[in-house]
């Protein structure tokens, strides 16, 4: 895949995923009723909604920025833990397969910009004019 096309795909996927996480984070920080219902159902305390919301907003900012690669990597790891934890929580709460599958879909959506980022960074490094 050409570098320019890969760059466009990476940014489209990243902005889409970051927007989803920003909206979800806002829902947590503003303590939307839907989020409260889920936390009650799963047995989590209500203050966790704010913590998760802030973490999602910070994570979305981290994956959009381009300067600090380690923070971006950690943000992706945090999102992966979030989706895996949501899947496990839903499964252990006895939810149906139709509900349990959604965190795994979120994980797959998250993996798209992550792998595009890794591929784009590798191509940039390989095509660098200053490479020895």
pLDDT of residue 131: 52
Q: Which two tokens stand for residue 20?
A: 């989803």
Low-confidence ranges of the chain (pLDDT < 50): none
Q: Where are the domains of the chain?
A: 3-126
pLDDT at position 39 is 95
Q: Please report the pLDDT score of residue 129 as a whole number.
A: 62
């Amino acid at each position: 895949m050409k570098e320019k096309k890969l760059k466009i795909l990476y940014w489209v996927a990243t902005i889409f995923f970051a927007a989803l996480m920003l909206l979800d984070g806002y829902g947590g920080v503003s303590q939307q009723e839907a989020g409260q219902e889920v936390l009650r159902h799963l047995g989590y305390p209500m203050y966790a909604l704010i913590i998760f919301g802030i973490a999602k907003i910070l994570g979305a900012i981290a994956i959009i920025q381009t300067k600090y690669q380690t923070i971006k990597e950690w943000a992706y790891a945090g999102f992966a833990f979030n989706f895996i934890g949501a899947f496990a929580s839903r499964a252990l709460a006895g939810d149906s397969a139709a509900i349990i599958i959604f965190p795994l879909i979120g994980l797959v959506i998250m993996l798209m910009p992550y792998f595009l980022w890794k591929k784009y960074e590798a191509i940039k490094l390989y095509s660098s004019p200053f490479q020895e």
